[in-house]
């Protein structure tokens, strides 16, 4: 069952001369972990904003085509309704947190929705625990690190218990170690709770291994859309200029130069190591 | 940026900090009214001394004294203005009664300023924001208040970074006459303003994405409850008001100068 | 040349950001300063152009002690490109933005015009000469900020987290740009936590942790030194992660470059194939 579906989606920002996205038709199934990537300016951020109605309601502009999210026509429902089903986490951790204490921030969405206090308390504690920041709940957002701030943002979205979580380059401002931790949290949410994850990222090295579906965009259009391993092993994907994981590149280079390796394209250093150990270990056969 | 240090929420727990901000505010208003009722030095001294236990209990002596120091300049102006005019009015003679009156006016000013200072020093922004949310102030305003306070340290740091970035391009903020110095701040102000606008846009997006505006009846994770201490403060407040009004109406307030 | 001698620095709020740091950066070197947030990397480089002055110890740039001169004077030699270009941009046109520092340093009008044209050219911004910097995209604004620092041709270039938010192609262009700066014998200092980027450039690497330098050496060696990396909370580059697990096969572990990796693996595999027959 498709939880996000778009047909020929085209959008131009107000005052824009050409569309930021054109003819985007994609389908995301329930429970998938989708990676959306592409060079800067390819339209991935614009696409994210369509998923929860920020486009067209907040941004105005011209939106053409169809978009259905969580069985709702995103153009016909206000963002505060969409927010119950689609959570959006943005790039800059600092600019998503407004309250003076972290748990109040996590409760923000629930307060807006008018939840009763006991229910809010339960959900806030649940979200804080899932993201591993329960101990930080009484601190101020300014006092914690960028990685922790992003976890607060994720918890804040999680508390509303949406079916889909969209994350727009959530680790841009974070160091690789914190980024890895964030991706692990997201992966857990996808695996354990079955939440559909849409992740916009450049760092394919760290994320490709989690995704079962990848969409590569360039200049507003979808260029590749399919299973991660299949798409990333094509030559064309590399030519677009996305950061193909080094493990995948190395694998392709070795195969091209004649090395016999299994046909399963690796997406992470662990996966290629397994293949290499197979290929390079001396035979045990007598 | 030491100016903003005071707003970096150090969680201080003292009995005064824990009092309900609404009760504290009502108390301060009562002191305000009492200070206006009396124009005589003795009661004003009493009102001034009444602040001190609160300051000591809250442990904010240093900050309180610092704010007193800040008020000295204006206080001095008030004293001298009052003194000069009464001096001239008395025919260029120094009368004890007039000095006392000038002192009283000065002290009234100090009491008004200092009682509010005590209020802000003993109330954390979180508490204040919460109090605003729980009174009938529209949510938009208390949200604007708490968000602004939350971003003060962020903006302060950003201002410093911007100044560093422009200094690294040869901008010398200290050089030049008064006009040149003002113009030198343009390369600091513009990025600051542009950044603030961008930040507000991002904040608005995040707010919308977390169901801002879903219902008119917003609920709250926290609730301010009144405790024993708050009722005690309320009793003191009522006491101050009642005593002040009674004394004003029925008791002759002595002046210091009559003992000279 | 930058000489850092036993420098200690404590912020006004009491945080000891640098503890007895000593370092020498020679002319023309390319050095990456890495470490976790709060390790002191940005604090250290802010001493190079005098934005911060040491609480103890001395810093000399080309023989001049930073405490004996102004930031503006040091800035002539040390160009500092901050992480967020929006913290610098304020002019009505890109041209004015680039000319800003030149005017501050007292260049003649003719020289300013020439240098602006040169800087625009160098970074592919000529078509935006009269455009407002606020109308440009994120990547373009980063280039304008860079151009505005290059315009006065400083000998030493400091880039603070230049790869944040950049996509793969932009990082490639940045890498090529740094190579170009090196051919012009400029000293390039980058502060970063982007291991993959540093692995591709293979500069001298200095690792910092809690205000101290914990490692200093060739990129290849430092980025494969598990102990040093673990101490400073840096992850292994992807290629090194692979080779770390291949050591039982007798392969060296100080490989960070993908081409070197390919050659090494092919050689090992071919040898194995030959031995089998």
Nearest CA in chain A to C232: A177
Residue B137 has pLDDT above 80, yes or no: yes
Lowest mean pLDDT, pick from A270-279, B125-134, C178-187 = B125-134
Residue A284 has pLDDT above 60, yes or no: no
**Cβ of A113 and B215 within 8 Å?**
yes
B2 touches chain C (CB under 8 A): yes
Kindly report the backbone phi and psi dihedral angles of residue A267, in degrees, each rounded to the nearest multiple of 5, phi listed first: -115, -10
**Is the domain of C100 the same as that of C204?**
no
Res B4: pLDDT: 39
Please tell me the distance from the alpha carbon of residue B145 to that of residue B21, in angstroms, as a whole number. 15
**Is the domain of C191 the same as that of C277?**
no
**Is the domain of A79 the same as that of A1?**
yes
Residues 6+ apart with CB under 8 A from B56: none
Q: Is residue A286 part of a domain?
A: no
Burial letters C158-186, b for 16+ CB under 10 A, else e? bbbbbbebbbbebbeebeebbeebbeeeb
**Cβ of B219 and A79 within 8 Å?**
no
A54 touches chain B (CB under 8 A): yes
User: What are residue C25's DSSP bridge partners?
Assistant: C2
Q: What residue has token string 């150990």?
A: A277
Domain-terminating residue out of C117, C138, C153: C153
Residue A106 has pLDDT above 60, yes or no: yes
Nearest CA in chain A to C171: A243
Average pLDDT over residues A239-244: 85
Q: Residues of chain C whose C-beta is under 8 A from some C-beta in B?
A: 12-13, 46, 49, 51, 70-72, 75-76, 78-80, 82, 84, 86-90, 100-101, 104-105, 134, 148-149, 152
Res B12: pLDDT: 63
Domain-terminating residue out of A106, A136, A161: A161
**Cβ of C88 and B169 within 8 Å?**
yes
Please tell me the distance from the alpha carbon of residue A203 to that of residue B167, in angstroms, as a whole number. 34
A282 contacts on C by Cβ (under 8 Å): 272, 275
**Is the domain of C141 the same as that of C123?**
yes
Q: What is the ipTM of this complex?
A: 0.89
Burial class, B114, CB count within 10 angstroms (exposed 0-12 / middle 13-18 / buried 19+): buried
Three-class SS state of C89: coil
Res A150: pLDDT: 95
**Is the domain of A25 the same as that of A67?**
yes
Res C89: pLDDT: 93
For residue A115, what pLDDT band results from cuts at 50, 70 and 90?
very high
**Is the domain of A68 the same as that of A1?**
yes
Average pLDDT over residues C3-29: 93
Q: Which of A233, A231, A227 is nearest to A247 (CA)?
A: A233
Res A69: pLDDT: 95
Q: Residues C128, C136: contact at Cβ < 8 Å?
A: yes
Q: Which of B10, B169, B195, B197 to mutate to test the interface with C (most CBs of C within 10 A)?
A: B169
A87 touches chain B (CB under 8 A): yes
Res A278: pLDDT: 86
Distance in Å, alpha carbon of C141 to nearest chain B alpha carbon? 13
Cα separations in angstroms, A200 against A90, A215, C76, C167: 10, 9, 41, 12
The pTM of the full predicted model, rounded to 2 decimals, is 0.88
**Cβ of C238 and A246 within 8 Å?**
yes
Better-predicted residue by pLDDT, C203 or C269: C203
Q: In chain B, positions 212-231, which contact chain A (CB-CB < 8 Å)? A: 212-215, 217-223
Res C195: pLDDT: 92
**Is the domain of C27 the same as that of C137?**
no
Q: What residue has token string 């840096």?
A: C234
Sign of the torsion angle spanned by Cα atoms B115, B121, B123, B129: positive
Q: Residues A202, C172: contact at Cβ < 8 Å?
A: no
Burial class, B11, CB count within 10 angstroms (exposed 0-12 / middle 13-18 / buried 19+): exposed
Q: Cα angle vertex C158, ends C155, C162, to 5°? A: 135
Q: Which of B123, B83, B99, B80 is nearest to B41 (CA)?
A: B99
Half-sphere exposure of A96 (CA within 13 A, CB side): 27
B172 contacts on C by Cβ (under 8 Å): 70, 72, 104
Q: Which of C39, C41, C43 is nearest to C54 (CA)?
A: C43
Residue A99 has pLDDT above 70, yes or no: yes
Q: Residues A238, A244: contact at Cβ < 8 Å?
A: yes
Burial class, B151, CB count within 10 angstroms (exposed 0-12 / middle 13-18 / buried 19+): buried
Total tally of structural domains belonging to chain C: 3
β-pairing verdict for C56-61 and C2-10:
antiparallel
Q: In chain A, positions 110-139, which contact chain B (CB-CB < 8 Å)? A: 110-117, 120-121, 124, 138
Residue C116 has pLDDT above 90, yes or no: yes
Residue A108 has pLDDT above 90, yes or no: yes
**Is the domain of A152 the same as that of A263?**
no
**Is the domain of A59 the same as that of A129?**
no
Res B7: pLDDT: 41
Residues 6+ apart with CB under 8 A from A130: A155, A158, A185, A188, A189
Nearest CA in chain A to C140: A40
Average pLDDT over residues A82-88: 95
**Is the domain of C141 the same as that of C162?**
no
Q: In chain B, positions 116-155, which contact chain A (CB-CB < 8 Å)? A: 125-126, 129, 143, 146-147, 149-150, 153-154
Of B2, B166, B170, which has the smallest distance from its Cβ to C88's Cβ?
Answer: B166
For residue A98, what pLDDT band results from cuts at 50, 70 and 90?
confident
Of C167, C242, C276, which has the smallest distance from its Cβ to A272's Cβ?
Answer: C242
Q: Which of B159, B170, B174, B197 to mutate to test the interface with C (most CBs of C within 10 A)?
A: B170
Domain-terminating residue out of C153, C175, C208: C153
B126 contacts on A by Cβ (under 8 Å): 100-101
**Is the domain of A63 the same as that of A134?**
no
**Is the domain of A153 the same as that of A180?**
no
Total tally of structural domains belonging to chain A: 3
Q: In chain B, positions 106-165, which contact chain C (CB-CB < 8 Å)? A: 158, 161-162, 164-165
Please tell me the distance from the alpha carbon of residue B117 to that of residue B67, in angstroms, as a whole number. 7
Res B1: pLDDT: 31
CB pairs under 8 A between B and C: 64
Residues 6+ apart with CB under 8 A from C206: C23, C31, C32, C33, C34, C213, C215, C216
Better-predicted residue by pLDDT, C171 or B18: C171
Better-predicted residue by pLDDT, A284 or B154: B154
Domain that holds residue C163: 1-77+154-235
Res B3: pLDDT: 38
Lowest mean pLDDT, pick from B116-125, C31-40, C135-144, C188-197 = B116-125
C266 contacts on A by Cβ (under 8 Å): 254, 257-259
Residue A140 has pLDDT above 80, yes or no: yes
The pLDDT > 90 percentage for chain B reads: 23
Written in H, E and C, the secondary structure of chain A is CEEEEEEEEEEECCCCCCCCEEEECCEEECCCEEEEECCCCCCHHHHHHHHCCHHHHHCCCEEEEEEEECCEECCCCCHHHHCCCEEEECCCCHHHCCCCCHHHHHHHHHHHCCCCHHHHHHHHHHHHHHCCCHHHCCCCHHHCCHHHHHHHHHHHHHCCCCCEEEEECCCCCCCHHHHHHHHHHHHHHHHHHCCEEEEECCCHHHHHHHCCEEEEEECCEEEEEECHHHHHCCHHHHHHCCCCCHHHHHHHHHHHCCCCCCCCCCCCHHHHHHHHHHHHCCCCCC
Q: Is residue A90 part of a domain?
A: no
Nearest CA in chain A to B157: A142
Which tens digit of pLDDT belongs to each residue from B142-190? 899 888 888 988 999 999 999 999 999 999 888 788 888 888 899 999 9
Cα separations in angstroms, C82 against C45, C50, C89, C151: 11, 15, 11, 15
Q: Residues C188, C181: contact at Cβ < 8 Å?
A: yes
The pLDDT > 70 percentage for chain A reads: 98
**Is the domain of C4 the same as that of C71?**
yes
Sign of the torsion angle spanned by Cα atoms C64, C67, C70, C75: positive
**Is the domain of C247 the same as that of C224?**
no
The pLDDT > 90 percentage for chain C reads: 78
Q: Residues C203, A234: contact at Cβ < 8 Å?
A: no
Domain of C163, CATH number, reads 3.40.50.300
**Cβ of A111 and B199 within 8 Å?**
no
Q: Residues A170, A198: contact at Cβ < 8 Å?
A: no
**Cβ of B203 and A84 within 8 Å?**
no
Provide DSSP, C1-36. Answer: -EEEEEEEEE-TTS-EEEEEEEEEE-TT-EEEEEE-
Average pLDDT over residues A209-216: 95
Domain of A223, CATH number, reads 3.40.50.300
Distance in Å, alpha carbon of A215 to nearest chain B alpha carbon? 23
Of C46, C71, C90, which has the smallest distance from its Cβ to B190's Cβ?
Answer: C90
Kindly report the backbone phi and psi dihedral angles of residue C213, in degrees, each rounded to the nearest multiple of 5, phi listed first: -90, 125
Q: Is residue C109 part of a domain?
A: yes
Please tell me the distance from the alpha carbon of residue A175 to that of residue C45, in angstroms, as a whole number. 19
Res C277: pLDDT: 67
Residue C85 has pLDDT above 70, yes or no: yes
- Domains of chain B, by residue range, sit at 10-123+226-259, 139-209
A169 contacts on C by Cβ (under 8 Å): 165
Res B100: pLDDT: 85
Q: Which of A17, A36, A40 to mutate to test the interface with C (most CBs of C within 10 A)?
A: A40
Please tell me the distance from the alpha carbon of residue B146 to that of residue B130, in angstroms, as a whole number. 9
Average pLDDT over residues C122-130: 91
Please tell me the distance from the alpha carbon of residue B45 to that of residue A134, in angstroms, as a whole number. 49
Res A283: pLDDT: 60
Res C8: pLDDT: 95
Please tell me the distance from the alpha carbon of residue B144 to that of residue C92, in angstroms, as a whole number. 31
Distance in Å, alpha carbon of A270 to nearest chain C alpha carbon? 7
Q: Which of A180, A89, C128 is nearest to B210 (CA)?
A: A89
Domain-terminating residue out of C124, C153, C182: C153
Please tell me the distance from the alpha carbon of residue A200 to that of residue A170, in angstroms, as a whole number. 8
Which tens digit of pLDDT belongs to each residue from A161-188? 999 999 999 999 898 889 999 999 999 9
**Would you tell me how many other CB atoms lie within 10 Å of the CB of residue C12?**
8
Domain that holds residue A253: 245-280
CB pairs under 8 A between A and C: 101
A157 contacts on B by Cβ (under 8 Å): 209-210
Please tell me the distance from the alpha carbon of residue A58 to that of residue B236, in angstroms, as a whole number. 51
Q: How many helices (H) and strands (E) does chain C have?
A: 11, 10
C242 touches chain A (CB under 8 A): yes
């Amino acid at each position: 069952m498709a939880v996000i579906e778009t047909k020929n989606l085209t959008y131009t920002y107000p005052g824009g001369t050409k569309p930021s996205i054109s003819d985007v038709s994609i389908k995301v199934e329930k429970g998938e972990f989708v990676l959306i990537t592409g060079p800067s300016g390819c339209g991935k951020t614009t696409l994210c904003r369509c998923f929860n109605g920020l486009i067209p309601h907040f941004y105005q502009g011209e939106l053409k085509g169809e978009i259905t999210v969580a069985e709702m026509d995103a153009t016909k429902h206000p963002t505060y309704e969409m927010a119950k089903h689609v959570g959006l986490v943005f790039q800059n951790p600092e600019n998503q947190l407004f309250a003076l204490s972290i748990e109040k921030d996590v409760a923000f969405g629930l307060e807006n929705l008018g939840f009763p206090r006991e229910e809010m308390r339960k959900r806030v504690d649940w979200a804080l625990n899932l993201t591993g920041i329960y101990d930080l709940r009484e601190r101020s957002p300014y006092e914690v690190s960028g990685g922790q701030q992003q976890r607060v943002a994720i918890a804040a979205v999680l508390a509303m218990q949406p079916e889909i979580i969209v994350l727009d380059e959530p680790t841009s401002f974070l160091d690789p170690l914190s980024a890895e931790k964030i991706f692990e949290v997201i992966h857990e949410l996808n695996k354990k709770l079955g939440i559909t994850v849409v992740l916009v990222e450049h760092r394919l090295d760290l994320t490709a291994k989690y995704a079962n579906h990848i969409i590569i965009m360039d200049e507003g259009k979808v260029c590749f859309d399919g299973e991660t391993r299949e798409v990333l092993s094509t030559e064309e994907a590399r030519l677009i200029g996305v950061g193909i994981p080094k493990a995948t590149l190395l694998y392709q280079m070795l195969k091209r130069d004649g090395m016999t390796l299994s046909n399963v394209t690796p997406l992470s250093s662990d996966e290629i190591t397994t293949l290499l150990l197979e290929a390079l270990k001396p035979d045990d056969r007598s | 940026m030491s100016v903003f240090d005071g707003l970096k929420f150090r969680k201080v727990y003292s009995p005064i900090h824990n009092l309900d901000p609404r009760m504290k505010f009502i108390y301060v208003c009562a002191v305000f009214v009492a200070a206006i009722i009396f124009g005589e030095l003795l009661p004003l001294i009493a009102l001034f001394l009444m602040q001190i236990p609160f300051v000591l209990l809250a442990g904010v002596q240093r900050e309180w004294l610092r704010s007193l120091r800040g008020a000295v300049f204006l206080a001095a102006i008030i004293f001298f203005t009052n003194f000069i005019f009464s001096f001239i009015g008395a025919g260029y003679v120094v009368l004890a009664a007039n000095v006392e009156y000038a002192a009283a006016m000065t002290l009234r000013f100090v009491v008004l300023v200092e009682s509010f200072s005590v209020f802000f020093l003993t109330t954390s922004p979180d508490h204040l924001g919460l109090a605003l949310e729980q009174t009938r102030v529209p949510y938009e305003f208390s949200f604007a208040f708490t968000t602004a306070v939350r971003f003060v340290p962020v903006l302060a740091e950003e201002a410093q970074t911007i100044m560093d970035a422009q200094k690294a391009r040869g901008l010398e903020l200290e050089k030049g006459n008064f006009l040149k110095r003002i113009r030198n701040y343009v390369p600091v102000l513009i990025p600051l303003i542009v950044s603030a606008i961008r930040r507000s846009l991002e904040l608005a997006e995040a707010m919308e994405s977390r169901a801002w505006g879903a219902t008119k009846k917003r609920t709250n994770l926290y609730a301010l409850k009144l405790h024993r201490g708050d009722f005690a403060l309320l009793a003191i407040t009522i006491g101050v008001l009642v005593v002040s009004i009674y004394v004003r109406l029925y008791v002759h307030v002595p002046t210091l100068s009559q003992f000279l | 040349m930058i000489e850092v001698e036993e420098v200690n620095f404590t912020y006004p709020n009491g945080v000891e950001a640098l503890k007895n740091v000593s370092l020498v950066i020679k002319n023309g070197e390319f050095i990456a300063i890495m470490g976790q947030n709060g390790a002191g990397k940005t604090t250290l480089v802010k001493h190079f152009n005098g934005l911060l002055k040491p609480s103890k110890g001395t810093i000399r740039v080309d023989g001049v002690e930073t405490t004996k001169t102004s930031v503006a004077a040091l800035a002539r030699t040390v160009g500092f490109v901050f992480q967020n270009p929006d913290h610098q941009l304020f002019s009505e046109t890109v041209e004015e933005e680039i000319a800003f520092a030149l005017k501050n340093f007292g260049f003649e009008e003719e020289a300013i015009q020439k240098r602006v044209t040169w800087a625009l050219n160098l970074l592919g911004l000529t078509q935006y000469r009269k455009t407002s910097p606020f109308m440009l995209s994120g990547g373009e604004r980063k280039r304008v900020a860079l151009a505005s620092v290059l315009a006065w041709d400083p000998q030493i270039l400091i880039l603070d987290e230049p790869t944040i938010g950049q996509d793969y192609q932009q990082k490639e262009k940045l890498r090529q740009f740094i190579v170009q700066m090196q051919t012009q014998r400029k000293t390039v200092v980058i502060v970063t936590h982007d291991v993959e980027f540093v692995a591709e450039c293979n500069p001298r690497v200095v690792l910092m942790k809690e205000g101290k330098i914990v490692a200093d050496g060739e990129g290849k060696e430092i980025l494969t030194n598990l102990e040093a990396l673990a101490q400073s909370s840096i992850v292994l580059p992807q290629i090194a992660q692979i080779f770390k697990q291949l050591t039982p096969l007798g392969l060296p572990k100080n490989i960070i470059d993908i081409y070197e990796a390919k050659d090494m693996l092919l050689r090992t595999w071919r040898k194995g194939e030959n031995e089998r027959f």
